[in-house]
Amino acid sequence: MKLFDTHAHIGLIHEDPIEQLIITQEARQSNVDGIISICNNLHDFFAVYENLKTANNVYYAVGVSPSEVQNPGLDWESKIDQGAAMDKVVAIGETGLDYYRKFGDKDSQVELFIRQLEIAEKLDLPVIIHNRDAGSDILDILRERIPSRGGILHCYGEDWEFAKKALELNLYISFAGNVTYKNARNLHETAKNIPLDRMVIESESPFMVPAAYRGKRNKPSYLHSTAEFLADLRDMSVEDFSQTSYDNACRLFNIQQ
């Protein structure tokens, strides 16, 4: 069985470089053969990249999340270009909109999001999209500006009706540990109905820990619990579900298996 974690904030699980490497090794021992390392800001991206350069199951996204809209950093656009040229960088992100936390003003968030969509198009990379209480604006923007390589709606939190609109675009939907919660009925409906070739999974470490690990700090090695839940939901073997979601991730990120 092979698993692909499309979204893990390894630098937020532990700051120590050795501990970060141990986290990736534990993940491999739990059949997580691929991880996309996510950082909210560019300083952390370059630091984590340096820490994990010997972890051969880790790939990277480079970008500026909406949480950083008030201080994306000096020359942030050229630094994204610099990061994207590095080995095993396979996506732009995470980027998107977050109206729940009210980071800066909406116009500034939208501007930051659109600029990174343009960078993704220029660099021929997919984009990893954060959405919190901003679904309508995100879909409106993506209808006009989605990169040719498409992207992921990560840590999906909307309903099936929203998913149907998203699936009209070149988007994959990624499910995190919150799909395993009993009261997440909207997510269960979406996960049952979405075309299998548009599904991927993520840990969203250190957040969104699966129900089986409630009370613990999430990490990629717990991803199997989410895969098992989704496989059961779709009446599949966990081996078949895991392989399909793994293949989907490799296809999206243009990773040769």
Report d(CA 172, CA 156) in Å as an integer: 10
Torsion sign, CA atoms 137, 141, 146, 147: negative
154 is in an annotated binding site: yes
Confirm if 211 and 199 have CB atoms less than 8 A apart: no
Contacts for 42-48: CB closer than 8 Å, 24+ residues apart: 42/72, 42/73, 42/76, 42/79, 42/80, 42/83, 43/73, 44/11, 45/83, 46/83, 47/11, 48/10, 48/11, 48/20
130 is in an annotated binding site: yes
Burial of 47 (0-12, 13-18, 19+ CB in 10 A): middle
7 is in an annotated binding site: yes
Closest listed residue to residue 125, CA positions, set 100, 93, 149, 98: 149
Binding residues: 7, 9, 94, 130, 154
Instruction: Summarize the annotated binding site for a divalent metal cation as residue ranges.
Output: 7, 9, 94, 130, 154
